[in-house]
Amino acid sequence: MATLAFQFEEISPRQLKPELYELDGISRESVEAHYSLYEGYVNKRNEILGKLDGVDLSSANQVYSEIRALKVELSFAIGGIKNHEIYFEHLGGGGGDPDGLIASLINRDFGSVSDWRADLKASGMAGRGWAWTAYDWDEGRLFNYVGDTQNTYPIWNATPLIALDVYEHAYFLDYQTDRASYIDAFFDNLDWRTVNDWVSKYQIQT
């Protein structure tokens, strides 16, 4: 019997930093809602890789639809992990206007901080699940992208620096249907030091 076989390591959820329980305008309950979903995505990722490792290749047609379903579900789980890890890491700051390298990038590529913020907010209002500010390595500049779900629509060779979660669980407890006020609160809690650390780590040229 031929089976798929590959090496993979199980991963564990990262711990939340304490500042996330003291955000302005985003409650502890909302952060916990994100975290329990995030834990679920980590478990799902481990579970799917375990299932793929050992898929029986002997009944080809059936097995390809099984592999497809598992790999699509895997991209959803991994999207939920990566998006939330950015979200958790770059909240807990004082918001306001960016400074340092990210301010230079935003001003260069959007014209002004207010134009960048307006575009990201509109992207967050337009998307069903996520909006990102990402650096596109091929174009050498920032863009704001829209995502409907965890695994739509990432752009190849672009690195997300800001991940705005606009799924209903992100705002419904605190703002009911008022997503715009939640997005304002998101901006108010951004930690620009973290974003600047990423710009430095990735060696993005400003």
Residues engaged in binding Fe ion (CB under 5 A): 34, 165
- Toward Fe ion, which CB reaches closer, 166 or 204? 166
Task: Tell me the residue nearest to Fe ion as measured from the CB.
Answer: 34
CB proximity list for 203: less than 8 A, separation 6 or greater: none
- Toward Fe ion, which CB reaches closer, 109 or 165? 165
Q: How far apart are CA 16 and CA 151, in angstroms?
A: 23
Contact 131, 164 (CB under 8 A): yes
| Torsion from C-alpha of 89, 102, 129, 115, nearest 10 degrees | 150
- Toward Fe ion, which CB reaches closer, 52 or 86? 86
Half-sphere exposure of 158 (CA within 13 A, CB side): 19
Helices (H), 94-160: 100-110, 113-126
- Toward Fe ion, which CB reaches closer, 99 or 168? 168
- Toward Fe ion, which CB reaches closer, 103 or 134? 134
Shortest separation between residue 169's beta carbon and Fe ion, angstroms: 6
- Toward Fe ion, which CB reaches closer, 136 or 191? 191
Shortest separation between residue 84's beta carbon and Fe ion, angstroms: 6
Shortest separation between residue 37's beta carbon and Fe ion, angstroms: 6
Q: How far apart are CA 136 and CA 108, in angstroms?
A: 14
Shortest separation between residue 34's beta carbon and Fe ion, angstroms: 4
Shortest separation between residue 165's beta carbon and Fe ion, angstroms: 4
Q: What is the DSSP string of 7-22?
A: ------PPPPPGGGGG
Shortest separation between residue 33's beta carbon and Fe ion, angstroms: 7
Contact 157, 134 (CB under 8 A): no
